[in-house]
Structure 1
């Protein structure tokens, strides 16, 4: 499809020195885009640019502050003349349970994930609006941001905020022809390797070179980093010009549209609700079918 070709487009992918970010950058370049690769590790940036070739340039910077965001946009414009696509992938983990999480643990993750997404999207939006030809902003969220996850107060809060920003910016940037979506990826990375049910399967696949089993790819929606890239390329393309404000999950063989938060059950009381009235009616009323919370544990098939 011609509208899936990204020739003439220029993309920034934050946190693209390795893992999912590198896969996104490689896929965008393979589709014809020029790409600004970004990471805090100079060696990772150098290796990624060498691997992609002339279609890439690199910026070593820690995402979070305005100066880094401006540096990324400037690199795209100075090297390739414009900016059409932004993928905000950069992130770090500082996992701890609530009572052990320090201020720095919280602030560091929020700075990179949430503030970094904000500053980079703001800088990109300014440039795209100046160009007057629309654009694509693709924010990377997480199942933890949709459902919560044990030990990830900071990460889950940031990823939930990223989904909320996608909805807000889709409204604000619509007139400029700029779409904004949140991608919710699940892939075999160093982070998913820490999940006990996944680790041995990932290790075995890497050892043998065999694909992941069907239960993992379909039931859990977990595959390789390359399995996620088709959605990134699609959302970056002209074929996705009418998709905006969505949270879209992808991983393995699974593609999913996440629902936005909505009222599940409603009840009314003339004159309002007292604490006693809520207590009396809760279990048989709006609270009769409470929502689940947390990412469900993987369920490998019985041996």
Structure 2
């Protein structure tokens, strides 16, 4: 773990708006994390295409960005189809004159345990997350390559995609797929000067609101008070705004040499996730027959078997959820 020195004083004027002249698309940005990303990109100088399936929500997001002096327009459409991807890119180009940054944040949840999960539950989540990311990035990269733009692709993963989580077969599959695609795109896009990175956010959202473990953290946010350090530091859990800075950084020239990475962020914590790799290796002359595995697997790998799921630290007594009446 590395402690990073905290910034002091006022940042130089030229670094406050590193995205001046840039144009960004942020899918699923009408509210929540997506809106935080879009608003931060706008604050840093980018014109932003907001996307949501709810027209009223999308227009409210545009108004909020413009109210802070930013530039934004909206595309009201569900991601997944090639038609929506083309509409997003053409809107960016026609309205703001180009495209430089894509953040694929749009997503849905349909949480159920495996035997209760329907085909429709599975297909919807995969379509929005995986196909929605694929079609938008494909269309954006085509524009980047044709126009010689050293663009930025920022996809959104999840700890569930990295570690698994009960009741989220569809979501885990989608988020793991997104990180896998991002690593592949980093290879394919390198020659064009385009970077592709995945962000793994941990933040207070509508979903975490329903989890008793986070009750005191959510209550602090709702009251406009600082979130307790246990959540921000031990768990790396914070607000949507805590994630937005990483999005702006990866979109900027300062991150031009960073690609193919999965970077976790939340609260006061920043993490670089490893690529999947072998943690232990064993050899057996002539290969591994059933009998060899039966007699030798435990000795070779017993101490190296990997854990699954997120393991939360025990809450301090003062942060325990309120007992149900």
Normalising by the residue count of structure 2, what TM-score does the alignment of the two structures yield? 0.91
Equivalent of 1:164 in 174, 180, 189: 180
Q: Give the root-mean-square deviation of aligned CA atoms.
A: 1.2
Q: Distance in 2 between matches of 1:185 and 1:206?
A: 17
Does the 8 A contact of 2:48 with 2:71 survive in 1? yes
Give the Å deviation of 1:210. Answer: 1.1
Cα deviation, 1:214-271, whole Å, max 9, x if unaligned, reads 0100111001100001100000000000000000000000000000100010100111
Q: Distance in 1 between matches of 2:184 and 2:211?
A: 33
Aligned twin of 1:8:
21
Does the 8 A contact of 1:97 with 1:151 survive in 2? yes
Equivalent of 2:277 in 250, 255, 262: 262
Aligned twin of 1:70:
86
Q: Distance in 2 between matches of 1:134 and 1:208?
A: 42
Does the 8 A contact of 1:221 with 1:253 survive in 2? yes
For the pair 1:227 / 2:228, whether they are aligned, the reply is no
Q: Distance in 1 between matches of 2:216 and 2:205?
A: 12
For the pair 1:295 / 2:310, whether they are aligned, the reply is yes
Cα deviation, 1:123-143, whole Å, max 9, x if unaligned, reads 000011111021000000000
**Which has the higher mean CA deviation after the structures are superposed, 173-182 or 287-296?**
287-296
Cα deviation, 1:2-37, whole Å, max 9, x if unaligned, reads 466100000000000000000000000000000000
Give the SS at the match of 1:282.
helix
Give the Å deviation of 1:76. Answer: 0.1
Cα deviation, 1:80-129, whole Å, max 9, x if unaligned, reads 01000000000000000001000000000000000100000000000111
Q: Distance in 1 between matches of 2:29 and 2:165?
A: 24
For the pair 1:89 / 2:88, whether they are aligned, the reply is no
Does the 8 A contact of 2:204 with 2:218 survive in 1? no
Normalising by the residue count of structure 1, what TM-score does the alignment of the two structures yield? 0.97
Question: Aligned residues, how many?
Answer: 302
Aligned twin of 2:255:
240
Q: Distance in 2 between matches of 1:208 and 1:136?
A: 36
Does the 8 A contact of 1:12 with 1:87 survive in 2? yes
Q: Which runs of 5+ in 2 are unaligned?
A: 1-11, 319-325
